[in-house]
Amino acid sequence: PHVGVLTLSCPQRPGIVHAVSRFLAELGADITEHQQFDDRVENTLFMRTAFTAQDADAETLTRRFEDTAREFGMTYTFSDATRPRVLIMVSKFGHCLHDLIFRWQTGSLPADLVAVVSNHEDLRPMAEAAGLPFVHIPVDAASKPAAEQRLLDVVEQFEADLVVLARYMQVLSDDLCNRLSGRAINIHHSFLPGFKGARPYHQAHARGVKHVGATAHYVTADLDEGPIIEQEVVRVDHRMTPEELATVGRDTEALALARAVRWHAENRVMLSGHRTVVFH
């Protein structure tokens, strides 16, 4: 039997669960996981149903579900169990890349890393030691448009489903953000909305906060304002310099990013306006 996942959202009204479960029952599918969230603020229902069936071909199911979807005004997606292909972008800090590589190699990341892109050469050895192609795309103000086109070519070449900015320290153009919309995840090294922008650990030190954190979010044109997928925090105190905050903060970055990538890869993240519904 094959594994499939249906995610959908639609205006709340009676009969939705029944319609979905009837559809799956008629397929002979066996529901293995089912989660739903009735957003009473937005009057919208979000649902994720994982199932096994003799035939779980996403394209076929998508077509067969059309009538039901139309009846309820559903936005929906069928996914099969294919692991998404992930391209990772880095600059000089390797902790998130290192962490993702280990989870991938030991089978705890339900996705496949396919390449690493960087504007620096520093992490080439780490990528290549893991058997990952490393593509160096230097960027400066003048070369940015060409560099971004080059990135899109690489994304296409490696058939990447997801781009992960694992401490990639360049701001993407609005145009690139839009093209990657919904399939690019960034890790920001602060507990957003605090300390947007540059040098957040220095900002955190200056403000004297008692926890630092990290935020994994979808990339949007509005820098550090994308929908938040996951956040992790850790307690700190007055004795820690900005550098020491960064050292302990890195552990939260790696954890938050790894969770966000896993949840995205398993189709557990849905967008609700500017917020996320995460069925973990």
Number of residues that bind a second copy (CB under 8 A): 63
Residue 213: name the closest of 227, 230, 198 by CA: 230
Contact 222, 197 (CB under 8 A): no
Q: ∠ CA(259), CA(264), CA(266), 5° rounding?
A: 100
Near a second copy by CB under 8 A: residue from 59, 70, 129, 141: 129
Give catalytic status of residue 224 as yes or no: yes
Residue (8 or 154) nearer to a second copy, CB: 8
Integer Cα distance of 53 and 57 in angstroms: 9
Taking CB under 8 A as the criterion, the residue among 35, 44, 62, 170 binding a second copy is: 35
Is the alpha carbon torsion for 233, 237, 242, 245 positive or negative? negative
- Does 206 bind a second copy (CB under 8 A)? Our answer is yes
Q: Does 5 participate in binding a second copy (rule CB under 8 A)?
A: no
Residues 164 and 109: their CA atoms lie apart, in Å, by: 13
Is 111 a binding residue for a second copy by CB under 8 A? The answer is no
Our finding on whether 274 is near a second copy (CB under 8 A) is yes
State the minimum distance, in angstroms, from the CB of residue 9 to a second copy.
12
233 binds a second copy (CB under 8 A): yes
Q: Does 182 bind a second copy (CB under 8 A)?
A: no
Least distance in angstroms from the C-beta of 118 to a second copy: 16
Closest residue by Cα to residue 234 from 217, 252, 220: 252
Tell me which of 5, 29, 74, 135 binds a second copy, using CB under 8 A.
29
> How far apart are the C-alpha atoms of 39 and 31, rounded to whole Å?
23
Counting contacts by CB under 8 A, is residue 83 touching a second copy?
no
**What size, in residues, is the chain?**
280
Is residue 17 involved in binding a second copy (CB under 8 A)? yes
Show the DSSP H helices in the chain as ranges: 16-27, 58-64, 66-72, 95-105, 124-129, 144-157, 174-179, 200-207, 242-265
Q: Which of 2, 124, 211, 223 binds a second copy (CB under 8 A)?
A: 211
Instruction: Name the amino acid, one letter, at 134.
Output: F
What is the set of active-site residues?
A: 224
Residues that bind a second copy (CB under 8 A): 13-18, 21-22, 24-25, 28-41, 94-95, 98, 102, 106, 108, 129, 191-195, 205-211, 213, 227-228, 230-231, 233, 235, 237-239, 241, 247, 251, 255, 272, 274-278
